[in-house]
């Protein structure tokens, strides 16, 4: 097995984490249950002492079409899939515009925008080397209990790509901050918004060191310079405690803490 040294303070979207060797997986037989799978590192907060980490290699970075079935490897970047969909007039992928990372990462957390989620369009997922129908997987808002490591995904193809829809969905995210972050810090509670709750308890803009809840959108934990793991955790725990004390709502992290 090959290893690659990755500096997560540069590689991860929140710009926090150690420089550490990561196993590069080029065959499904190399997958390990006790390793944490890192994709594009766009929704993770890596601690100074993480568990063993692995990453899918180039073998899992592909796109194919067979009999109106689109198959993609989970190492594929979301931007490449969007470009392919536009070039081939394939519908239903417009929502992934400006959602960074890999397809595997999107699948693992059922990523999306509003009612547009990736599980809405999935046919089946290759998990630990076996194809599994998506209806046999427990999934919901921002989660998917895969029960293993996803390496590829298949979609039924529908034609009719829409730039208009893509632009509408991008506008929905105009309120997101530009500073380094890991996306939404918390999942929205049913019938409410995590950002509203964080703002309601006075934590919008709250800063600890170089970490802060964004002044632009309270549910984004942003790195204002050289933020570190401990300060990020402090703010996450503070928000959970304050919101629970004030509203009786237990916020659940959307960001993955490794």
What pLDDT is recorded for position 113?
84
**What average pLDDT score do residues 136-146 get?**
92
Residue with tokens 């934590």: 203
- Decide which of 113 and 57 is more confident: 57
Reported as a single tens digit per residue, the pLDDT across 220-244 is 999 999 999 999 999 999 999 999 9
Q: Which of 49, 4, 41, 7 is nearest to 22 (CA)?
A: 4
Q: What is the rounded CA–CA span in Å between residue 64 and residue 66?
A: 7
pLDDT in tens, 174-211: 778 889 999 899 999 999 999 999 999 999 999 999 99
Q: Over 90: is that where the pLDDT of 257 sits?
A: yes
Taking the CB of residue 127, how many other CB atoms lie within 10 A of it? Answer: 20
Residue 1 pLDDT > 80: no
pLDDT at 112: 86
In this predicted structure, what is the pLDDT of residue 197?
A: 98
Active site residues: 142, 184, 254
pLDDT classification of 13: cutoffs 50, 70, 90: very high
* pLDDT tens-place string over residues 32-82: 778 899 988 888 999 999 999 999 999 999 999 998 999 999 999 999 999
Mean of pLDDT over the chain:
93
The model's pTM: 0.86
């Amino acid at each position: 097995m090959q290893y690659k040294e990755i500096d997560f303070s540069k590689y991860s979207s929140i710009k926090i984490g150690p420089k550490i060797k990561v196993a590069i997986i080029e065959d499904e037989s190399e997958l390990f249950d006790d390793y944490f799978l890192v994709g594009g590192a766009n929704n993770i907060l890596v601690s100074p002492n993480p568990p063993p980490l692995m990453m899918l290699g180039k073998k899992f970075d592909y796109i194919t079409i067979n009999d109106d079935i689109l198959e993609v490897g989970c190492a594929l970047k979301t931007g490449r899939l969007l470009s392919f969909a536009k070039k081939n007039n394939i519908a239903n992928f417009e929502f992934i515009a400006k959602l960074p990372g890999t397809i595997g990462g999107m699948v693992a957390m059922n990523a999306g925008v509003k009612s547009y989620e990736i599980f809405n369009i999935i046919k089946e997922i290759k998990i630990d080397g076996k194809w599994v129908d998506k209806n046999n997987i427990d999934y919901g808002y921002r989660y998917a209990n895969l029960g293993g490591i996803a390496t590829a995904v298949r979609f039924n193809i529908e034609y009719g790509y829409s730039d208009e829809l893509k632009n509408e969905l991008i506008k929905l995210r105009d309120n997101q901050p530009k500073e380094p972050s890991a996306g939404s810090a918390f999942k929205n509670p049913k019938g409410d918004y995590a950002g509203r709750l964080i703002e309601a308890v006075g934590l919008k803009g709250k800063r600890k060191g170089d970490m802060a809840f964004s002044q632009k959108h309270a549910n984004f934990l942003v790195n204002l310079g050289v933020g570190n793991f401990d300060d990020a955790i402090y703010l996450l725990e503070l928000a959970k405690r304050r919101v629970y004390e004030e509203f009786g709502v237990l916020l659940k992290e959307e960001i993955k803490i490794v």
